[in-house]
Structure 1
Amino acid sequence: MEELLKTLSVDSSCRAEDFLEGRALLINKPYSWSSFDVVNKIRIQFKKYLGIKKIKVGHAGTLDPLASGLLIICTGKATKTIDQLMGMDKEYVAHITFGASTPSYDLETEPDQHFETDHITKAEIQKALQGFQGIQMQAPPVFSAIKKDGQRAYEQARKGKSLKLDKREVEFKDLELLAYTAPTALVRVVCSKGTYIRSFAHDLGKALHSGAHLSGLERTAIGPMKLDGALSMEQFEKLLVTIQTI
């Protein structure tokens, strides 16, 4: 881990060779971009600004297009640390809107059911959150990349096929209600690898005898790495302009 953290230092003193050798980049993924969009854009920028035609680039944990926040991009030999990075705890700030559920558990699909929310209070949400603390068995959303019968679940779900995915063990290390302005709660979530925040939002709605969906999500930390140390795509591009080419 100590060696990995050393590769996080990316500034104008870096050389093109440093990225080939291996760097871990903290990027603030923009809303609507897929994680692959970020990887692809960085590959293009390496070629354009640094003259690097061939380089290993990968990300350490997918962030959905409808989410923003911390995405770790690894280059060169640092791609060997991806599995280690993916195993770290994650921190998110989730916007959870009560009163409607959606098939995808987020805003990718339209609401399919509506519910009452008058009974939901800040105190009730805080009480419900306590029930999620610790190890839980969580069912992934059917709109996910998990394979079922040889096909991605989301491909089958989009065709209208009814699916039931096996529950998986996840752990919620910390849950904090940051704010509640009906019908939307702002919740800080610290959780283990493999936790679906969309499923958490859906399950929280059910726990409150209502329905809910994830209306916004920002990843704020991966292990010891924080979003406030990340570069926007624009900042990273400006940095590359100052770096010595091959």
Structure 2
Amino acid sequence: MSNLPEPSLQPPFTFQDGTLFLVNKPKGWTSFDVVNKLRWKIRKKLGLKKFKVGHAGTLDPMATGMLNICTGKWTKRLQELQGLDKTYTGTITLGATTASYDAEEPINETFPTDHITEEMIRQAAIDLTGDLQQLPPIFSAIKVGGQPLYKKARRGESVEVKPRPVTVHEFEITRIELPEVDFVISCSKGTYIRSLAYDLGKSLDSGGYLTALRRTVVGPYLEENMWNLEELLTAIGDRDIV
């Protein structure tokens, strides 16, 4: 794994010298919720009032899958992990849009889908592969003027979002049962899968929004090595530490 940190797959854990946990984020939890829960558990285990725990690469609350979490001295290595390519699976629902480009916000517009063919969908995915200038959702954690965009959007403020360069290495369509389309996407850091869902719908003269998302791979780190959150919390509480 070159010079990247090795993930901790079983106890004992070296929390202070540094651990990397690959955690399967539960649906409905924010990335911060998961970090907070682990920090509280580790602090309790170590008997400390403060302890550093951080994550690399935020997942939206509706998403599940790999959250890379570092403790102790390895929190200084979060930047290394944030720059890694990522792979996602999920579902896009065609024929409608939402303000957040996913199911977190209500549908704000509907569109026809009768004209859409399988060939059109697969071609549209190909057209959204490669180096792109992507427009992030206004409901995102990108900061403008020191504040996340989603806070401004929820207050109804006018928000200007600038396109950002991203790379989509692969956009494979794995199931088509309209209005639903399943996919596998491999991409660079900073890529919004929600924006790809919106852009796919738009390129089909329709609408599209994300209804399911799971992060399965980050760089060399694989889904099979993820901890279930409850199992990790139990392992931290039940085992001795180094």
Letter of the structure 1 residue corresponding to residue 196 of structure 2:
F
Among 169, 174, 188, the alignment partner of 2:170 is 174
Q: How far apart are 1:245 and its partner, in Å?
A: 4.8
* 2:239 alignment counterpart: 243
* 2:182 alignment counterpart: 186
* 1:114 alignment counterpart: 110
Is 1:133 aligned to residue 132 of structure 2? no
Letter of the structure 2 residue corresponding to residue 125 of structure 1:
I
Alignment of 1:53-202 (within 5 A): 53-202=49-198
Q: 1:205 to 1:5 in 2, by over 3 A?
A: same
* 2:34 alignment counterpart: 38
Give, in whole Å, the separation in 1 of the partners of 2:193 and 2:113: 21
Give, in whole Å, the separation in 1 of the partners of 2:116 and 2:46: 54
Letter of the structure 2 residue corresponding to residue 55 of structure 1:
F
Give, in whole Å, the separation in 1 of the partners of 2:219 and 2:36: 25
Give, in whole Å, the separation in 2 of the partners of 1:10 and 1:89: 21
* 2:4 alignment counterpart: 4
RMSD of the alignment, in Å?
1.6
* 1:213 alignment counterpart: 209
**Which SS does the other structure have where 1:112 is aligned?**
strand
**Alignment TM-score, normalising by the size of structure 2:** 0.95
Letter of the structure 1 residue corresponding to residue 177 of structure 2:
T
Q: How far apart are 1:120 and its partner, in Å?
A: 1.8
Give, in whole Å, the separation in 1 of the partners of 2:36 and 2:8: 21
Q: How far apart are 1:137 and its partner, in Å?
A: 0.3
**Which SS does the other structure have where 2:132 is aligned?**
strand
Q: How many residues align?
A: 242
Give, in whole Å, the separation in 1 of the partners of 2:208 and 2:67: 26
Q: How far apart are 1:122 and its partner, in Å?
A: 2.1
Among 16, 20, 23, the alignment partner of 2:16 is 20
**Which SS does the other structure have where 1:42 is aligned?**
helix
**Which SS does the other structure have where 2:70 is aligned?**
strand
Give, in whole Å, the separation in 2 of the partners of 1:28 and 1:51: 26
Letter of the structure 1 residue corresponding to residue 227 of structure 2:
L
Runs of 4+ residues over 6 Å off in structure 1:
none
Q: Which moved more, 1:162-171 or 1:28-37?
A: 162-171
Q: 1:99 to 1:236 in 2, by over 3 A?
A: same
Give, in whole Å, the separation in 2 of the partners of 1:97 and 1:61: 24
**Which SS does the other structure have where 2:38 is aligned?**
helix
Contact kept? 1:50, 1:244, Cα under 8 Å: no
